[in-house]
Amino acid sequence: MKNLGKWLGLLLALLLVAGGLGWYAWHQQALARGNPWLKGEQGAARAEQLARESGMAVLYVIESDKCRRCKLLDKGLWQDPALASTLAGLVKVRLNPSAGDGSERVLRRFPKVNTPPGIYLQQGGGPLKPI
């Protein structure tokens, strides 16, 4: 009887750990889904509105289709599940001047980025801060 109690206790502990890990993974994915990347001129306008309403900072990423560093940064950092909760606390905008989505008009107010990627953070409508 003593062994049965130990085994049941161990099984319950394993189930609780597995359930907790499952909930954590689901929660991280939900955070990422609920706060997607915005793009282009419309995305930047929406980001400014969200930032005013929520008080969150805006993360702007200036990228190019042909930029190898941009693709590495996207794959290695922006899509990393370990950063999902951190990025969920920011309004995120991708600007690509060759995408045809109005990004080039938004970028007129940014410092010139000679070699992408360019990364800027803006808090509360304040100045753009390069990262």
Q: How far apart are alpha carbons 36 and 33 in whole angstroms? A: 6
Q: Note the pLDDT of residue 24.
A: 43
For 44-69, what is each residue's pLDDT tens digit?
999 999 999 999 999 999 999 999 99
By three-state DSSP, how is residue 9 classified?
A: helix
CA nearest neighbour of 89 among 115, 49, 55: 55
129 pLDDT above the threshold of 70: yes
Taking only the tens place, the pLDDT of each residue in 82-100 is: 988 889 999 999 999 999 9
CA atoms of 65 and 53, how far apart (whole Å): 32
Percentage of the chain modeled with pLDDT above 70? 74
Quickly list DSSP for 65-121. TT-HHHHHHIIIIIT-GGGHHHHHTSEEEEE-TTSSSSHHHHGGGSPP-SSS-EEEE
Entry pTM: 0.73
Confidence of residue 78 (pLDDT cuts 50, 70, 90): very high
pLDDT(30) > 50: no
Position 85 scores a pLDDT of 86
